[in-house]
Amino acid sequence: LDRWQRGRQSRALDGQPVLEPGFARAQRLDPQSIRQALHTLAYRVHRRQAEEPRRTRGPADISEAEILSSFAPVLPPDVNPRVLLQYTESRAGILVHRAPGVYAFAHRSFQEYLTACHLADQADFAHEIGQRVWFDLAWWREVFLLGVGKARRGGLGNAVHLVGSLVQDEPPDPGQTSAGDEPEEAAWQVAALAGQALIEVGFPPVARGAPDFEAVLGRVSRWLAALIETADALAPLDRAQAGNILGRLGDRRAGVGLLAHPAPVHALDARPLRATLPDILWVGVPSGPSVMGSAERDDEAHDDERPLHTVRLPAFLIARYPITNAQFRPFVESGGYDDPRYWTSAGWAWRHGEQESELPLTVIDDDLNHNYTEWLAKRPVERRQQPFYWDHARWGVANRPVVGITWYEALAYCRWLTVQMQASNTRCRLWRNGRIEPLPIRTSLLIARLPSEAEWEKAARGPDGRRFPWGDEWATNRANSKEAGIGETCSVGSFPAGMSPYGAHDMVGNIWEWTRTKWGKTSVLRSDYGYPYESGDGREELAGPDLRVVRGGSWLADRCTARCAYRYRYLPGDFSSLLGFRPMLSLEMLAGHR
């Protein structure tokens, strides 16, 4: 617009320099009138383009008649409107000349922003733009976000009112909603759009201490949480994006973040503890027999999964979700990486860079195709005081599973968690039959550790030995595997239809989960600890740099790896974006205290 206003030097027919007036002067218009006409033009063509059967995402073609119609109300009566078109053809500006009689906005963003400006000029901006978003969100999405930005220039309250008017009601309770009564897809999409708008105007920090702002933030966040907890509310990729928005706004689902009001923590050995406790929600796995492995006739099974056999395990509790970035943060910030109490001797040596000489020089992972020593070099000692992808824009969203951690770090976290629980006066919370209730065991009696692969498999497949946590048939909308098309981790619990029989989420897909079980020495192709599973044959020992078993597949792996019986392995010092963990609580030593 500014370039349009400037005079331009050219040459007359006799070759003499001539200063051509700028657009505003030539048309005898003030800049505000030009803006008003452009607002009107943008809105008209954007609305028309929305109704075209084959609409494109580029700027719309604009006819001469549409330009003249929009500028007619502001042009002086003695100005020839054709001069307007001449300037548009010869001057670089907001409108550009495409072909004889055809014009367009220089970029799609001009068209959408000026459309938002037109709607902002209406008496009820919120109603006008809200109607269009609810009717055709895909088309009006960017107009809404730009409109919120426009409103923000008039004060944060204006922008918050605009978002709040879009999401006025409370979401339904996923646990109380019957099949067929869930909100329509548009309601979920609008909630995600409202959340994105709040992020773009600086939420959640700017909402603190402002009750009206916090009310809007809370309502939008509850909608996003309900979306995640409602199976099949949106397609997997849309669900993942909504989960990211919730993670940035503040995910208050039970079992995902931190305890809101942690009890005072007093260390048993009088050493000070400064950590906030993670809010881990546990699910119970009863004692008794369970099947493990795969049948001979299973064409997808690998040799190291056979034979199918029965194991007996005592009762235990396992985290309902993998440990999230939010839940791992207290370990980092309370000095967990610098306290040798939490580390094995091999883990402490890894932490200080003293272990490399003990590792094989050339260990090639046949599937990931990287040289381990070269990969290890990417994480020198100074990068071992927190997860490799810590605070990463892509992997570090608070409600996503923590990744980029070694087996040593996962083990240290479990030991740290044990100390925190034993030193606190709080009770753990148990998820059972759709309800959350206090665990009738004092945390001072609990011991957290990594599950064995046998415990992990039982928690995933249940008492009936199902193929996947939800049953024997594959379903793309039940796990964040390669088939889901997300292409990275997503917020924990984003696939509620894939929940295991005991209530654990994300047992397959999303991340490979570390177990404490040894795969063997340095061979990635053959396990030294095969089946039938025997817990007392040394495979559960924590000492040594042996490869460790991981379970569950990941966002990068396909449905074959999402089978509950599938086994894989990593060196304990590996730290890829595929690796995370969930802890368990052993109850066998607590039988007399129940």
Instruction: Tell whether the model's pLDDT for residue 267 goes beyond 50.
Output: no
What percent of the chain has a predicted confidence (pLDDT) above 90?
70
Residues 479-516: tens digit of each pLDDT: 999 999 999 999 999 999 999 999 999 999 999 999 99
Q: Is residue 200 within 8 Å of residue 159, measured between CB atoms? A: no
Q: Which residues pair with 318 in a beta bridge?
A: 283, 584
Nearest to 575 by CA among 353, 416, 388: 388
pLDDT-derived band at 271 (thresholds 50, 70, 90) equals very low
pLDDT-derived band at 588 (thresholds 50, 70, 90) equals low
Angle between helices 211-229 and 156-166 in degrees, nearest 10: 30
How many other C-beta atoms can be found within 10 angstroms of the C-beta atom of residue 563?
24
DSSP 178-226: PTT-SPPHHHHHHHHHHHHHHHHTTTTGGGTT-HHHHHHHHHHHHHHHH
Instruction: Tell whether the model's pLDDT for residue 593 goes beyond 60.
Output: no
What gap in Å lies between CA 462 and CA 500, rounded to an integer?
7
Classify residue 475 as exposed, middle or buried by CB count within 10 Å of its CB (0-12, 13-18, 19+).
middle
Nearest to 91 by CA among 181, 20, 180: 20
How many other C-beta atoms can be found within 10 angstroms of the C-beta atom of residue 349?
17
Q: What is the pLDDT of residue 229?
A: 95
Q: What is the pLDDT of residue 33?
A: 82
Token pair 């590792």: residue: 359
- If you average pLDDT over every residue of the chain, what do you get? 88
pLDDT-derived band at 375 (thresholds 50, 70, 90) equals confident
* Prediction pTM value: 0.90
- Strand pairing report for 316-319 and 584-586: antiparallel
- Strand pairing report for 8-11 and 547-551: unpaired
Query: Which residue would you say has higher pLDDT here, 593 or 171?
Result: 171
Classify residue 52 as exposed, middle or buried by CB count within 10 Å of its CB (0-12, 13-18, 19+).
exposed
In 294-384, alpha helices (H)? 325-333, 345-351, 372-376
Nearest to 282 by CA among 408, 404, 451: 451
Instruction: Tell whether the model's pLDDT for residue 158 goes beyond 80.
Output: yes
What gap in Å lies between CA 1 and CA 239, rounded to an integer?
40
Query: Which residue would you say has higher pLDDT here, 111 or 90?
Result: 111
Instruction: Tell whether the model's pLDDT for residue 566 goes beyond 60.
Output: yes
Instruction: Tell whether the model's pLDDT for residue 268 goes beyond 60.
Output: no
Instruction: Tell whether the model's pLDDT for residue 295 goes beyond 90.
Output: yes
Q: What is the pLDDT of residue 356?
A: 58
Return the minimum-mean-pLDDT range out of 227-241, 282-296, 378-392, 429-443. 429-443
How many other C-beta atoms can be found within 10 angstroms of the C-beta atom of residue 153?
10
In the structure encoding, which two tokens stand for residue 164, read together?
């709040």
In the structure encoding, which two tokens stand for residue 106, read together?
């220089």
In the structure encoding, which two tokens stand for residue 194, read together?
């409202």
Residues 198-235: tens digit of each pLDDT: 999 999 999 999 999 999 999 999 999 999 999 989 99
Q: What is the pLDDT of residue 22?
A: 62
Q: Is residue 200 within 8 Å of residue 149, measured between CB atoms? A: yes
Residues 91-109: tens digit of each pLDDT: 657 888 889 999 999 999 9
- Strand pairing report for 17-20 and 8-11: antiparallel
CA 479 vs CA 119, 227, 294, 385, 404: distances in Å: 41, 16, 20, 31, 20
Q: What is the pLDDT of residue 592?
A: 40
Instruction: Tell whether the model's pLDDT for residue 275 goes beyond 50.
Output: yes
Kind plus residue range of the DSSP H or E element containing 11 = strand 8-11
pLDDT-derived band at 369 (thresholds 50, 70, 90) equals very low
Q: What is the pLDDT of residue 177?
A: 65
Sign of the CA dihedral with 171 first, then 173, 176, and 178 last: positive
Q: What is the pLDDT of residue 178?
A: 63
Q: Is residue 345 within 8 Å of residue 435, measured between CB atoms? A: no
Token pair 């600890």: residue: 529
CA 216 vs CA 162, 168, 592: distances in Å: 10, 9, 49
Instruction: Tell whether the model's pLDDT for residue 266 goes beyond 50.
Output: no
Residues 189-206: tens digit of each pLDDT: 999 999 999 999 999 999
Q: Is 457 helix (H, G, I), strand (E, B) or coil?
A: helix
CA 406 vs CA 162, 274, 311, 392: distances in Å: 45, 24, 28, 17
Nearest to 442 by CA among 593, 286, 281: 593
Return the minimum-mean-pLDDT range out of 8-22, 46-60, 554-568. 8-22
Q: What is the pLDDT of residue 594?
A: 38
Residue 401's Cβ-side half-sphere holds a number of Cα atoms within 13 Å equal to: 36
Q: What is the pLDDT of residue 368?
A: 43
End-to-end, the C-alpha distance of the chain in Å comes to 75
What gap in Å lies between CA 590 and CA 314, rounded to an integer?
11
**For the residues 48-74, what does the mean pLDDT come to?**
92
User: Cα angle at 35 between 33 and 41, to 5 degrees?
Assistant: 105
**For the residues 181-195, what does the mean pLDDT come to?**
93
**For the residues 154-171, what does the mean pLDDT come to?**
95
Amino acid at 447: I
Angle between helices 125-135 and 156-166 in degrees, nearest 10: 40
- Strand pairing report for 316-319 and 95-99: unpaired
What percent of the chain has a predicted confidence (pLDDT) above 70?
86
In the structure encoding, which two tokens stand for residue 35, read together?
């803006």
DSSP 51-76: TSTT--SSPPPEEHHHHHHHHGGGS-
Q: What is the pLDDT of residue 34?
A: 82
Q: What is the pLDDT of residue 13?
A: 66
Q: What is the pLDDT of residue 23?
A: 63
Return the minimum-mean-pLDDT range out of 165-179, 482-496, 579-593. 579-593
Instruction: Tell whether the model's pLDDT for residue 281 goes beyond 70.
Output: yes
Residues 507-548: tens digit of each pLDDT: 999 999 999 999 987 667 788 899 999 999 999 999 888 899
